[in-house]
Amino acid sequence: MGKLKSNLSGSTFNFINKINQANKKYLNFANKRKFPKIFRSKFSLPIIVLLAIFVVLYLSTSSSIDSNIPTFTVKKNVFLVSITESGEMSAKSSIAISAPRVRGVLKIVQLVPEGEYIKAGEVVAKFDPTEALAIVKNVEAQLEISRSNKDKLLANHQSQIAQMESDLKSAELSFELSKLSMEQMKFEAEAKRREAELQHRKNELNFQKIKQTFESNRIIQKSELENMNVEIRQKNNDLEKAKRDLDDLTLISSSEGLVVYGNNWNNQGQKFQIGDQPWPGQGIVTLPDLSKMESRTFVNEVDISKVKIGQKVLVKLDAFQDSSFIGTISKVAKLGKQKDSQSTIKVFDVFIDIEGASEILKPGMTTSNKIIINEIKNKIFIPHEALFEDGENFIVYKKNGSSFDEVNVTIGEKSDDFVVIESGLEDRDVVALIDINNDTSADDLSKDSSVQMPENGK
């Protein structure tokens, strides 16, 4: 232990000795150069060393803080006043394949996979045929009954005709006999002649009555047979309709194309699936024309007055963020609707034609639609994150060397991401994207040290 203390004392003595030698050399140098008196004191060198260390530490700390503050470099560019809404890609024209318009409840039991490319004549969907088969069998039974009733009617008619023909013939013979008998009574007594005349008259009336009844019955039978034929024709039509309905339960594609499921509004707008029960005529599947696509979106009633046909739109796909497409508004709905069943917000449908074609554009893809309301040239603008409110004033933190100055600004037009600065900033100024005076901002510093200026103001 004594040896260790001796070594430490020797090291300390050597260190102090070297400092004294360095200080003497500095004083000799300072005296020869005739430095000011303040720099020729025996404490001058230690003070200078301490000041140097302090400056280095300060600059190092300041640089570290500055490098962690996210910034944005201002420059003049085209400012776009825009509205951004989400939407869905769809084909401008397509072939709709709808549920058949048949009697009974429809239930999907087979459905071609969505996204599959099918050819003309291929099966798209099938519905449960149980109820349709029962209808066919019931109508067939009714038709068989009607045919049997017709055969029975014809047999009755034939029997009635035979009986009536016999009665008519008998009445005719009685009439002829009474006529002959009356001629033979010419020379008989008056009473017998009168009796013969009355009998002849009676037979004549009976013959005419039976003849008239026979004709009437022929007309009635003809009408009954016609009614039965009408009934059978109706049953035949019902059977053909029932068989067509049964065949219609299998949906066949009339053209080739990519299968896209329709929305089942009975199930909160979800895509159709096996087991669903659409109403007759409801679109089950569409085969879109992929050469002409459009993005369908909706705009809040507050902003709809700004949206016009012909305005340009920047369309991006959520699935392909690196790809963007130029579109043009082709149609704006004249009537608003509720955004959804749970909301009272009114929105208007907006249709956007996509310029050109691309293999990555598929119906049903989610889109982000930036509707360009106005383009203002040569404007300075900054992100909303760089603008702060101080009472009734707006301020930014402009970089000045290694620090930031608080600057009052006047703002102009706004977009979803940026705001125009009418006064207070110049081209190439750098502004902070956090509130410098807010201690909590330092805890949430972004990993990115700056925000890039969007290309062409977009």
Per-residue HEC secondary structure of 16-73 comes to HHHHHHHHHHHHHHHHHCCCCHHHHCCCHHHHHHHHHHHHHHHHHHHHHHHHCCCEEE
**What 3-state class would DSSP assign to 137?**
helix
Torsion angle, CA of 192/195/201/207, rounded to 10 degrees? -100
Residue 325 domain flag: no
Q: Are residues 280 and 421 in the same domain?
A: no
Lowest mean pLDDT among 10-24, 133-147, 262-276, 366-380: 10-24
Give 268's pLDDT tier (boundaries 50, 70, 90): confident
Domain stop point among 221, 248, 275 = 248
Q: Is residue 316 part of a domain?
A: no
Distance CA 287, CA 164 (A): 69
| Digit-coded pLDDT (tens) for 389-430 | 988 899 999 999 888 999 999 999 888 789 999 999 998 999
Proportion of the chain above pLDDT 90, given as a percent: 38
Distance CA 429, CA 264 (A): 54
Do 118 and 262 fall within a single domain? yes
Select the more confidently predicted residue: 3 or 315: 315
pLDDT in tens, 281-293: 999 998 888 888 9
Residue bearing the bigger pLDDT, 239 or 197: 239
Band the pLDDT of 457: cuts 50, 70, 90: very low
Average pLDDT over residues 256-275: 87
Looking at the fold, whether 141 and 106 belong to one and the same domain comes out as no
The predicted model gives 119-138 an average pLDDT of 93
86 pLDDT above the threshold of 90:
yes
The residue that leads in pLDDT, 65 or 72, is 72
> Which residue among 44, 65, 86 closes a domain?
65
Mean pLDDT of 57-64: 48
Average pLDDT, the chain: 81
Task: Please report the pLDDT score of residue 126 as a whole number.
Answer: 95
Least confident of 222-236, 285-299, 428-442: 428-442
d(CA 78, CA 415): 12
Domain-located, residue 268: yes
Tell me, yes or no, whether 206 and 260 share the same domain.
no
In angstroms, rounded to a whole number, what is the distance separating the alpha carbons of residues 191 and 180?
A: 17
Looking at the structure, do residues 181 and 195 belong to the same domain, yes or no? yes
Q: Are residues 108 and 31 in the same domain?
A: no
| Structural domain includes residue 234 | yes
- Answer yes or no: do 113 and 140 share one domain: no
Give the structural domain span for 50: 2-65
- Whether residue 284 sits in one domain with residue 385: no
Q: What pLDDT score was predicted for residue 11?
A: 56
The total domain count for the chain is 4
The pLDDT, as a whole number, for residue 30 is 61
This prediction has a pTM of 0.51
Residue 3: phi and psi, rounded to 5, are: -65, -40
Residue 339 lies in a domain: no
Confidence of residue 439 (pLDDT cuts 50, 70, 90): low
Query: 298, 318, 453, 317: which is closest to 371 by C-alpha?
Result: 298
- Distance set, CA 25 to CA 17, 29, 31 (Å): 12, 6, 10
User: What is residue 1's predicted lDDT score, i.e. its pLDDT?
Assistant: 47
Asked if residue 142 is part of any domain, the answer here is: yes
CATH of the domain at 281: 2.40.50.100
- The pLDDT of residue 45 is 57
Higher model confidence: residue 166 or residue 121? 121
Domain contains 135: yes
- Specify if 437 maps to a domain: yes
31 and 179 in one domain? no
Which has the higher per-residue pLDDT, 210 or 292?
A: 292
End-to-end CA distance of the chain: give it in Å, rounded: 75
- Same domain flag for 166 and 214: yes
Last residue of a domain, one of 230, 259, 288: 288
> Is the predicted pLDDT of residue 330 greater than 90, yes or no?
yes
